[in-house]
A and B are shown apart, each in its own frame.
Chain A
Amino acid sequence: DTAVSQTPKYLVTQMGNDKSIKCEQNLGHDTMYWYKQDSKKFLKIMFSYNNKELIINETVPNRFSPKSPDKAHLNLHINSLELGDSAVYFCASSRLGRENTEAFFGQGTRLTVV
């Protein structure tokens, strides 16, 4: 059983298109995240949700819109894709309010904008 699963694993699309990445966790966690990893492997948090409510929204263009239909799902929708959006996007989850709990990551979605 995959704890945090995201789809698709690979996504190749043209500039200007709109695309979505889906994420689901079956760990019963209350907190979910989206991270962006660039070609140098730097990891940057984009969004954090606690129980379907947005908690962290780092400096991310408003073309990126997260949607959490329930606490087990956090999807990422991207409008008007640009070349610079090419990266690997990771979904993650953790327990709420527990300082010593680690994050569980999905396998990543490699987005290539051409």
Chain B
Amino acid sequence: GNSVTQMEGPVTLSEEAFLTINCTYTATGYPSLFWYVQYPGEGLQLLLKATKADDKGSNKGFEATYRKETTSFHLEKGSVQVSDSAVYFCALKNAGKSTFGDGTTLTVKP
């Protein structure tokens, strides 16, 4: 079956620090990969996505590259801001079915 494993949180960083949140997946075939972000009190919203191997998704300074050889889709940002504090979910979609990771809570301190 499909599964997504992401780095356990919580993660606490100082403003302007480098962020990496690891995500690995297990799936048959060729899933699409996503990162969603959930700000406090809100629903999930798409942050970025990649639909095939070696694709790089990017948005708001965040990036992730679809690595088929390592079955990974790690999220990175070069310089985080306080406003990036949120819960981040890695997810895959395969044969029409979505699978989410457990979420990683990020807190950025000024």
CB distance from B8 to the nearest CB of A (A): 11
Q: Mark B80-96, 1 if CB is under 8 A from A, else 0.
A: 00000001010001111
Q: Is the interface of B mostly helix, strand, loop or mixed?
A: strand
Q: A79 on the interface (CB 8 Å rule)?
A: no
- Are the CB atoms of B49 and A102 closer together than 8 Å? yes
**From B94, which residue of chain A is reached at the shortest CB distance?**
A99
Q: B62 on the interface (CB 8 Å rule)?
A: no
Known: A42-B103, A43-B100. A100 touches B43 (CB 8 A): no
Chain B residues with Cβ below 8 Å from A100 are 32, 49, 51, 93
User: What is the total number of residues of chain B having a CB less than 8 Å from a CB of chain A?
Assistant: 25
Chain A residues with Cβ below 8 Å from B100 are 43
Chain A residues with Cβ below 8 Å from B36 are 102, 105
Known: A105-B45, A107-B43, A108-B43. A99 touches B32 (CB 8 A): yes
Instruction: Give me the interface of A with B, judged by CB distance under 8 Å.
Output: 4, 31, 33, 40-43, 45, 48, 56, 90, 92, 94, 96-97, 99-108
